[in-house]
Every structure is written in C-alpha cells, then in structure tokens.
Amino acid sequence: MTLNPEGPDARTRLYMLDELQRDLDARELYLSPLLTPSGQLDWPVLLQFALLEGGPAQLAEQLRRRHRLEHLVAPDPPRLRDGAQLLAEGEFNRFYCRGICRRALDERHARVEVYQAREANRVRIADSQLLGSQLDARWLLSELRKSPDVSEAQVPGDPAAGLSVRLPQRAKRSIAA
C-alpha cells in the first residue's frame, strides 16, 4: 500500500516546490546512494514534477521506468521493499510535511497534527506516541530541513511508519518541542 498524504492541494504544492527550490539553491538536495549517476542528474526534475502535479507512485514509476536506481533494497527482511517506492514515498512525504509546516506558519497555525497516512509496515513506540499529537510547525520544519533521514530524527516522514502531518483539525494533545 502506497503512502497517500492528504492532499496535497495546489497551495500546499507551491510550498513543497518552494522547499525544493530552497534545497537546490543551497545545494542541499538529498541524493540517495540508491540513485545511479544518471538518476542523480534526473532526480531534481523528477522530484519537481512529482511535487508539482504527481505523487509518490508516479515518482517511483519514473525511477523504475528510467532505470535510475542501483538496486532493490530490503530494509525489513524478509519482506522486500522496492527501493524506488521507498525513496519516492520518503522524499515526497518529507517535502509534503515541509510544505504543510510552511503553510501552517503562513496561516498562523503554530502546530501541525500527526496522522496515519497509510497502514504502517512496522510500528515503533515513538511513532505510536506521535500519532494524533500536534507538533510545533517551526520546530518540525527545521528538523525536516536538517536531515533527510527522518527515521532517526523521531519526526513524521519515515515511509516505513506511514505517518504524515496536516493542518490542525481540532484541539488535540500537544508535544512541546
């Protein structure tokens, strides 16, 4: 089952694209070691298209079709995961979360809500504690910008966890950053 963040609507996509441009301008765009040399050259354009009008499934399909990955990976043996899907879901969701944080701040929401974007492959205690909570949008944006490895950062975005963020739906418990 693929990750399917809520939306993104046109406004959120603009924030996502702005975050991509920020990474490109700063020469900080994450280039996965799974990408072939030609995959590293194509990655910014493929990602930009996915953020503009596609999604993680289309991004993964482009990586597969163009043979832009070195190999398949197996992060959760014995269940093999497709490297294209893993990379596409992770990066699309990371930019989606960054876009939601930027939008929340512009719309004067101090917090974003963590929700289950898809069924999780694995459930970690830290992930279950985040679910349904509200995080400081400025803090989360900073954390997501700092490191592409969200699995170690204890923030939503790890494709294995299936978590994402959205604009606050209603008052819920908060986790102070």
DSSP conformation letters of the chain: -----S---HHHHHHHHHHHHHHHHTT-----TTB-HHHHHHHHHHHHHHHHH--HHHHHHHHHHTT-BS--EEEETTEEE-HHHHHHHHHHHHHHHHHHHHHHHHTT--EEEEEESS--SS--HHHHHHTT-EEEHHHHHHHHHH-S-HHHHTSTT-TTTTEEEES--S---EE--
Per-residue pLDDT of the chain (177 residues; tens, 9 = 90+): 455 556 699 999 999 999 999 999 999 999 999 899 999 999 999 999 999 999 999 999 999 999 999 865 445 444 445 889 989 999 999 999 999 999 999 999 999 999 988 776 666 666 677 888 899 999 999 999 987 765 555 566 666 678 899 999 754 444 544
How many domains would you assign to the chain?
A: 1
Assigned domain for 61 exists? yes
Assigned domain for 47 exists? yes
Assigned domain for 1 exists? no
Task: Give the range of the structural domain holding residue 42, as residue numbers without chain letter.
Answer: 10-175
Assigned domain for 58 exists? yes
Assigned domain for 3 exists? no
Assigned domain for 5 exists? no
Model pTM score: 0.84
